[in-house]
């Protein structure tokens, strides 16, 4: 090859790959900067406490949502995540794989140090009760219909329930070819949902390609709009690398977290449910889930150290909290740091909390009027209760 051709080709390669390499450099340098022991704790809360650390099976809580009118939080928790995590790629079920459950926490009487209580929501006639591995969920407050992503062993699906007092009445299970790796749900009313699929390559089908997709930052994740009254009209409305949490910022804007970019994508919602991309900003941690408080501030929680999180998910299948074996008890430890932040157009991105006090933060919610915020932890025991 002539020297000039070579130069031309490498210039072209740099022109094409340069921005991509720079993009990955930014993502990977975040991982390096946040490596264990180099992570500076930040905490601007007035007071905080971890509650219900020792409540049996109240651990591995991914999602968290508030019903401020009732003053309750609903949490989706799954001790079985230790052995079965379709997002992180842990597939070690045995015949005793524990099912997950949804919990109700009445936080109206919460004072730090008080003995408030949580209870498990009961199911009424739910065929998947023994194969329930809940992650993302959303409540349609008008109808009290709760949508829950279930990473069931029999296949991922969306469960719909009616929430009546402390009982979940099963309505139906929804599966759809476009919901191959469902993660989070945002209900926009009347059975109309935006759902994220975190990956194109599911770790259940191809662990290697799935990891490659995560680290390459390829936009394999999707946002799907589906109307449950007309599922045949479901369509992919955007593609996002490792699409994770999704939340409506206001009547026109949808926010979606990317855990691999890592960053936040903003979209305008059209009447026909298509999305138009409005912008993206980067975050110093892999954003997991999103929520929006009553003043329109976006709250996010996530994982500053992807490597620490992977280490935990890898060791967890061994975990047995009451075992005689020290190795099995240690496997239950949770050491991955947390990160929580808020964003608004006026004030930009502000970190509220980071550090290892609470492990593997996945969702933060805030009741503005009562001045209480809550953070759940993907592999943590209990819940972090905050006075702001
Ligand atoms: C499942 O539970 C039963 C009863 O506790 C126990 O005998 C069995 O060894 C367990 N199986 C595994 C694979 O842990
Ligand atoms: C995250 O939160 C949103 C809204 O608060 C919810 O709709 C979604 O399902 C959640 N997803 C996950 C995976 O936590
Ligand atoms: C869609 O289905 C829900 C129940 O799943 C029902 O309450 C609602 O009225 C339906 N909406 C329309 C527009 O048909
Ligand atoms: C919704 O939020 C976006 C982003 O903060 C903002 O640009 C837009 O003006 C808001 N729209 C409404 C109707 O409040």
Atom of ligand 3 nearest to the CA of 171: 5
pLDDT at residue 251, as a whole number: 93
pLDDT at residue 30, as a whole number: 67
Burial label for 200, CB within 10 Å (0-12, 13-18, 19+), is middle
Tokens of 41: 């704790």
Q: What is the pLDDT of residues 315-362, one digit of tens each?
A: 888 888 888 999 998 998 998 999 999 999 999 999 999 998 999 999
Which of 80, 95, 328 to mutate for ligand 1's pocket (most ligand atoms within 8 Å of CB)? 95
Q: In this structure, are residues 237 and 227 in contact, taking their beta carbons and an 8 Å threshold? A: no
Residue 79 and residue 57: Cα distance in Å, rounded? 6
Tokens of 272: 């026909």
Question: If you take atom 8 of ligand 3, which residue's CA is the nearest one?
Answer: 190
Interval between CA 31 and ligand 2 midpoint (Å): 24
Q: What percent of the chain has pLDDT over 70?
A: 89
Tokens of 368: 């503005």
Low-confidence ranges of the chain (pLDDT < 70): 1-38, 110-115
Q: What is the pLDDT of residues 131-187, one digit of tens each?
A: 999 999 999 999 999 999 999 989 999 999 999 989 999 999 999 999 998 999 999
Question: If you take atom 10 of ligand 3, which residue's CA is the nearest one?
Answer: 190
For residue 215, what is the enclosing H or E element? helix 207-216
pLDDT at residue 216, as a whole number: 76
Which of 159, 160, 191, 230 to mutate for ligand 3's pocket (most ligand atoms within 8 Å of CB)? 191
pLDDT at residue 17, as a whole number: 63
Interval between CA 124 and ligand 4 midpoint (Å): 40
Atom of ligand 2 nearest to the CA of 63: 14
pLDDT at residue 82, as a whole number: 83
Interval between CA 94 and ligand 1 midpoint (Å): 8
Q: Comparing C-alpha atoms, which of 309, 297, 280 is closest to residue 342? A: 297
Interval between CA 136 and ligand 3 midpoint (Å): 22
Residue 5 and residue 337: Cα distance in Å, rounded? 49
| Cβ of residue 232 lying under 6 Å from some atom of ligand 1 | no
Q: In this structure, are residues 370 and 356 in contact, taking their beta carbons and an 8 Å threshold? A: no
Residue 254 and residue 245: Cα distance in Å, rounded? 11
Interval between CA 219 and ligand 2 midpoint (Å): 20
Question: If you take atom 4 of ligand 1, which residue's CA is the nearest one?
Answer: 96
Tokens of 114: 């008080």
Which domains, and CATH codes, for the chain? 34-387 (2.120.10.30)
pLDDT at residue 362, as a whole number: 92
Tokens of 204: 């259940």
Question: If you take atom 4 of ligand 4, which residue's CA is the nearest one?
Answer: 345
For 200, 212, 339, the CA distances from 14, given in Å and listed in that order, are 27, 21, 34
Q: Comparing C-alpha atoms, which of 284, 293, 204 is closest to residue 255? A: 293
In whole angstroms, how large is the CA radius of gyration of the chain? Answer: 21
pLDDT at residue 110, as a whole number: 66
Which ligand has its closest atom nearest to the C-alpha of 94? Answer: 1
pLDDT at residue 3, as a whole number: 67
pLDDT at residue 12, as a whole number: 62
Which amino acids bring their CB within 6 angstroms of ligand 3?
190-191, 228-229
pLDDT at residue 376, as a whole number: 94
Tokens of 127: 């065929």
């Amino acid at each position: 090859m002539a020297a000039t051709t070579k130069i031309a080709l490498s210039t072209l390669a740099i022109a094409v790959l340069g921005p991509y390499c720079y993009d990955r450099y930014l993502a990977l340098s975040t991982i390096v900067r946040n490596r264990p022991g180099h992570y500076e704790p930040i905490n601007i809360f007035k007071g905080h406490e971890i509650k219900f650390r020792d409540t049996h099976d109240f651990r591995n809580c991914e999602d968290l949502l508030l019903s401020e009118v009732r003053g309750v939080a609903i949490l989706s928790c799954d001790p079985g995540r230790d052995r079965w995590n379709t997002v992180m790629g842990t597939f070690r079920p045995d015949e005793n794989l524990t099912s997950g459950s949804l919990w109700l926490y009445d936080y109206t009487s919460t004072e730090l140090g008080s003995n408030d209580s949580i209870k498990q929501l009961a199911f009424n006639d739910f065929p998947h009760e023994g194969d329930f591995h809940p992650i993302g969920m959303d409540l349609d407050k008008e109808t009290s219909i709760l949508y829950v992503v279930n990473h069931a062993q029999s296949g991922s699906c969306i469960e719909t329930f009616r929430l009546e007092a402390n009982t979940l009445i099963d309505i139906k299970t929804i599966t759809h070819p476009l919901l191959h790796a469902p993660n989070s749900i945002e209900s926009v009313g009347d059975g109309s949902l935006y759902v994220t699929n975190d990956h194109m390559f599911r770790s259940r089908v191809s662990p290697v390609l799935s990891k490659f997709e995560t680290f390459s930052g390829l936009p394999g994740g999707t946002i799907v709009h589906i109307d449950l009254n007309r599922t045949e009209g479901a369509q992919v409305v955007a593609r996002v690398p490792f699409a994770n949490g999704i939340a409506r910022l206001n009547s026109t804007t949808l926010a979606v977290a990317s855990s691999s970019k890592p960053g936040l994508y903003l979209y305008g919602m059209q009447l026909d449910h298509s999305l138009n991309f409005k912008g993206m900003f980067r975050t110093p941690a892999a954003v997991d889930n999103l929520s929006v408080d009553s003043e329109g501030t976006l709250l996010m929680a996530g994982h500053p150290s992807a490597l620490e999180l992977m280490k935990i998910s890898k060791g967890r299948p061994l975990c047995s909290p009451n075992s005689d074996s020290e190795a099995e008890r240690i496997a239950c430890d949770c050491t991955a740091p947390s990160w929580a932040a808020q964003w608004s157009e006026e004030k930009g991105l502000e970190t509220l909390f980071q550090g290892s006090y609470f492990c593997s933060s996945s969702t933060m919610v805030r009741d503005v009027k009562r001045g209480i915020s809550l953070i759940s932890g993907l592999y943590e025991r209990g819940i972090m209760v905050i006075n702001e």
